[in-house]
Each structure stands twice: as structure tokens, then as C-alpha cells.
Amino acid sequence: MIKELTNKIINEKYHISKSEATELLNTDLKVLSYCAEQIRKKFCDSKFDMCSIINGKSGKCSENCKFCAQSAHYKTNIKEYSLLDTNSIFNVAKHNWNKKVKRFSIVTSGRKLTDEEIDLVCKTYEKIKKECNIMLCASMGLLTKQQFIKLKKSGVSRYHCNLETSREFFPNICTTHTYDDKINVINIAKKVGLEICSGGIFGMGETFQDRIDMFFELYNLGIKSVPINILNPIKNTPFENNKILSQEEVLRTVAIARFILPDAFIRLAGGRLLFKDKGVSLFSSGANATITGDMLTTNGTSIDEDCDTINKLGFKI
């Protein structure tokens, strides 16, 4: 069944149904990863997208996302700071640009930035745009249309807002905002002309079906950049005792994502280092993008190390 389905997707641009995606849970993992790679090669060739992020404002967040070290609802041990000044952010962007990273995002904690903060951050984007040819992304919460317009004018081309999980499971991870708040923001950003990056975090107690449902939501929203985060349980958050997902489960999740989102950049984000091979095997199971360097509140891998690995796997960054 899986080979027939793969051929249909490759040759007829067939879009898989939910029940077919659910059947993939019972297939042999090696065969599933192999077929996901065939789909990735057909729709994305050897293209690889690498981006980097800076935590532009950390902690003291009013929201109660149970996976997050930055929520003020939980007493975690992270460094808290308000919005970083232009030069501090610019220097990091320039470093990434010099290392040939093509995308850079400023990510901030909180429900959303204030208008004053947006004005400050736009000045930072303008300076980066003027002096480096790096593509600019932003992840700043539930912004308004006017705020998106300002970001776009300052040079931002892509906005990030994770759905995190399925609609059904979402109330189990956050109650201070809703799934529809997120979809609403994604739609506003799209209307303003921004590309969208949206994915999720796995290992929060959701089922495989929740992951499949989320991938279908992303497909229906036309998302082409999908970050995959693996929960790294943080002490003093409600998920501190969650079991870390096995590498097999993550390989299967990524492969199924490729079947549902054939032409998307499936991007490994937080949690890669939880695995012995630093998640490298996921690039042979359908993934073709990553966030490089440090993550928001946990350490990532180095840019040089990532470039080396990705080139050796035959991708073109």
C-alpha cells in the first residue's frame, strides 16, 4: 500500500487522505522513511533551507503554554530581559550572514509586542536589511494588521506562528489564548503579504492522530515552512516529567509530515540535541531544513557543524 501511495503522490500529485495518513502508523519505519525521501526528492529536490534565530526578548510572558520556560506562570531558571537594542541584534544577524546563513529571525516572548516595541524592532530590521543581504523573519505573538504592515515595510518577509498541536489537544497545553487566535494571526499576516512559517512541538502527551491533524491544518493553510520541535522537558513547567520521545517516534512523525506536506520545508528546530546523532537521521526521513545555532532557551548546534553535515548528506543549502 505504501509504495502505491508514494507513486500516486509522486506521479499524480495526489494528496493523501487522513485515513491513509493514519495507516502509515503501521508501516515498517525503514520503508516509510525511504518513501518520505522519495517524495522529498521529487517535490523539493536537494534544496535545504537553513535559518537562525535570536531570542530578542526573554521571559515574563503572560501566557501559560505548558511547554515553555518563558511563561511567567512557572518558576524556571531562564535569563529574563526586555527587548534587545538594535546593535546587539544586528551583530548576531551579521555574524550569521558572514557564516552564509540565509535567514534570520527575531523571536520575542509575550502575547504580543507593543506598538513602541514594534517601532524599535523595525529600526533594527531596517539596519540589518541595509547592511546584510539576509532574509528576515519575525516571531512576535498575536500582532495586529497595522503591526504586520510595519514589519513588512521594514524588510520582514516571513512571519512565524506555531499551531503547536491539533485543535483538539490545544486546550491541554494553553488556556490563555486559543487555536483560533493563532489561525487568525496567520491569516492576517498572509493578507499583508507575509509568507508563513508554522509547525508544532511534539512529546506533550498528544497522540499521533493529533500530529496528523495538525499537519492537515498546516496543509489547508498553505504553509510551506514547518518547524518540528521535540519537547525538552523543562524543570518547573507542567511538562517537566514528560518522557522524551524516542528517535523512532520522531522519525515516523517527520516521515508522515512529508507525506502530508510534500513540497514544504520540514524544519528541525528545538530538541534535535536530545538524540545521539543530533537528529541527523531525520534528514534521511523527509526533513530538509533546520534552525542552526542556539535555540531560544536551550543550546543548538554550531553553524559550521550543520553546514558540514548537510553538505555531506548531498543537500544544497
Distance between CA atoms of 150 and 146, rounded to whole angstroms?
Answer: 6
Whether the CB-CB separation of 43 and 58 falls below 8 Å is answered with no
Q: With binding defined as CB under 6 A, does residue 63 bind ligand SF4? A: yes
Residue 61 or 101 with smaller CB distance to ligand SF4: 61
Whether the CB-CB separation of 61 and 110 falls below 8 Å is answered with yes
Residue 155 or 200 with smaller CB distance to ligand SF4: 200
Query: Which three cell numbers, joined as nine digits, stand for 114?
Result: 507593543
By CB atoms closer than 10 A (0-12, 13-18, 19+), residue 5 is: buried
Distance between CA atoms of 309 and 317, rounded to whole angstroms?
Answer: 11
Residue 70 or 232 with smaller CB distance to ligand SF4: 70
Among 24, 61, 136, 289, binds ligand SF4 (CB under 6 A): 61
* Segment holding 265, helix H or strand E: strand 265-268
Q: Give min distance, CB of 70 to ligand SF4, in A.
A: 4
Q: With binding defined as CB under 6 A, does residue 154 bind ligand SF4? A: no
Q: Give min distance, CB of 307 to ligand SF4, in A.
A: 29
Residue 177 or 252 with smaller CB distance to ligand SF4: 177
Q: Give min distance, CB of 62 to ligand SF4, in A.
A: 7
Q: Give min distance, CB of 53 to ligand SF4, in A.
A: 13
Span near ligand SF4 by CB under 6 A; candidates 46-54, 67-75, 122-130, 183-191: 67-75
Closest by CA to 206, choosing from 166, 254, 256, is 166
Distance between CA atoms of 30 and 36, rounded to whole angstroms?
Answer: 10
Q: With binding defined as CB under 6 A, does residue 260 bind ligand SF4? A: no
How does DSSP assign 55-86, residue by residue?
EEEBS-BSS--TT-TTBTTS------B-PPPH
Distance between CA atoms of 201 and 271, rounded to whole angstroms?
Answer: 9
Q: Give min distance, CB of 108 to ligand SF4, in A.
A: 8
Give residue 212's Cα distance to chain centre: 16
Span near ligand SF4 by CB under 6 A; candidates 60-68, 95-103, 115-123, 234-242: 60-68
Mask: binding to ligand SF4, 70-109, rule CB under 6 A, as x and -? xx-------------------------------------x
Mask: binding to ligand SF4, 109-148, rule CB under 6 A, as x and -? x---------------------------------------
Residue 70 or 147 with smaller CB distance to ligand SF4: 70
Query: Which three cell numbers, joined as nine digits, stand for 239?
Result: 511538562
Helix, strand and coil in the chain, % to nearest 5: 45, 20, 40
Q: Give min distance, CB of 291 to ligand SF4, in A.
A: 15
Mask: binding to ligand SF4, 239-258, rule CB under 6 A, as x and -? --------------------
Q: With binding defined as CB under 6 A, does residue 65 bind ligand SF4? A: yes
Q: Give min distance, CB of 28 to ligand SF4, in A.
A: 36
What residue type is assigned to position 234 of the chain? I
Q: With binding defined as CB under 6 A, does residue 68 bind ligand SF4? A: yes
C-alpha separations of 217 from 75, 92, 179, 224 in Å: 33, 34, 11, 12
Residue 102 or 111 with smaller CB distance to ligand SF4: 111
Distance between CA atoms of 314 and 249, rounded to whole angstroms?
Answer: 25
Binding site for ligand SF4 (CB under 6 A): 61, 63, 65, 68, 70-71, 109
